[in-house]
């Protein structure tokens, strides 16, 4: 089977979502490093792939897609054999809710908190950490009733949410008070084909 090209950056949680989905689906993948530190994502050849200048970008035999959540939906629908993306209206809507959370509350909470410590971004740490805990409280309550975010089987919702929640401590967001969230992370990490994102020794991870 042909290898799918994934343009990525190892410390990007958005890129990790796509890498994790490819690995869970056991699809042959060629990882192509886009060196964000050197501005490779703003060069003409990369902008030709994604005019927003962001990783990840997927190239599946000439089908070129950007946006991590869009890539998850594509991979699940093309290669997931119905397992990762519910097709019934309610299930599909519940997954879409969490994809919106991944692009909203997760991006503006734990993802931004980590951007401050890992990449030196100039966001307000107090604000984004508080926003992260608001989100984690909701997730912990909902995960009291199901093993995964949408029912008792993993979906792209879990893949979209995993990376930045798992690495929230790097942004000084503690997961200590959220037992259900921690159990959910462990269930994802136990899935066949799971691949992690490299941890960065910053924030609360310094003493971990």
pLDDT per position as a tens digit, 89-109: 999 999 999 999 999 999 999
CATH node for 89-195: 1.20.1050.10
pLDDT at 35: 84
Q: Which of 146, 176, 181 is nearest to 162 (CA)?
A: 181
Indicate if the pLDDT at residue 38 is higher than 90. no
- Percentage of the chain beyond pLDDT 70 is 98
> In angstroms, rounded to a whole number, what is the distance separating the alpha carbons of residues 121 and 111?
11
CB-based burial of residue 157 (10 Å sphere; 0-12 exposed, 13-18 middle, 19+ buried)?
buried
- Percentage of the chain beyond pLDDT 90 is 77
Domain boundaries, the chain: 4-79, 89-195
Is the Cβ–Cβ distance between 119 and 144 less than 8 Å? Answer: no
Virtual CA dihedral for 9, 12, 122, 42, nearest 10 degrees? 40
> In angstroms, rounded to a whole number, what is the distance separating the alpha carbons of residues 142 and 148?
9
**Length of the chain as a residue count:** 208
Q: Is the pTM of this model over 0.85?
A: yes
pLDDT at 207: 53
Instruction: Tell me the β-bridge partners of 162.
Output: none
From 3.30.1120.80, 3.30.420.40, 3.30.70.20, 3.40.30.10, which CATH number describes the 4-79 domain?
3.40.30.10
In whole angstroms, how far apart are CA 44 and each of 49, 51, 52, 68? 9, 9, 11, 21
Instruction: Tell me the β-bridge partners of 30.
Output: 5
pLDDT at 29: 97
The residue-averaged pLDDT of 73-86 equals: 96
Indicate if the pLDDT at residue 162 is higher than 60. yes
pLDDT per position as a tens digit, 119-161: 777 788 899 999 999 999 999 999 999 999 999 999 999 999 9
Is the Cβ–Cβ distance between 54 and 41 less than 8 Å? Answer: yes
């Amino acid at each position: 089977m042909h290898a799918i090209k994934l343009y990525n950056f190892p410390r990007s949680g958005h890129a990790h979502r796509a890498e994790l989905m490819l690995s869970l689906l056991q699809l042959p993948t060629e990882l192509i490093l886009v060196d964000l530190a050197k501005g490779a994502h703003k060069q003409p050849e990369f902008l030709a792939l994604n005019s927003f200048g962001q990783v990840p970008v997927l190239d599946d035999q000439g089908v070129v897609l950007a946006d991590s959540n869009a890539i998850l939906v594509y991979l699940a629908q093309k290669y997931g054999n119905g397992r990762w993306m519910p097709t019934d209206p309610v299930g599909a809507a519940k997954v879409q809710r969490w994809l919106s959370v991944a692009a909203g509350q997760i991006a503006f909470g734990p993802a931004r908190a980590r951007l401050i410590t890992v990449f030196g971004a100039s966001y307000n740490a107090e604000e984004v950490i508080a926003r992260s805990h608001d989100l984690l409280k909701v997730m912990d309550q909902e995960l009291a009733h199901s093993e995964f975010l949408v029912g008792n089987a993993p979906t792209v919702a879990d893949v979209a949410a995993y990376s930045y929640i798992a690495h929230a401590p790097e942004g000084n967001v503690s997961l200590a008070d959220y037992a259900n969230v921690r159990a959910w992370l462990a269930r994802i990490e136990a899935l066949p084909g799971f691949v992690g994102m490299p941890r960065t020794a910053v924030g609360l991870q310094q003493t971990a």
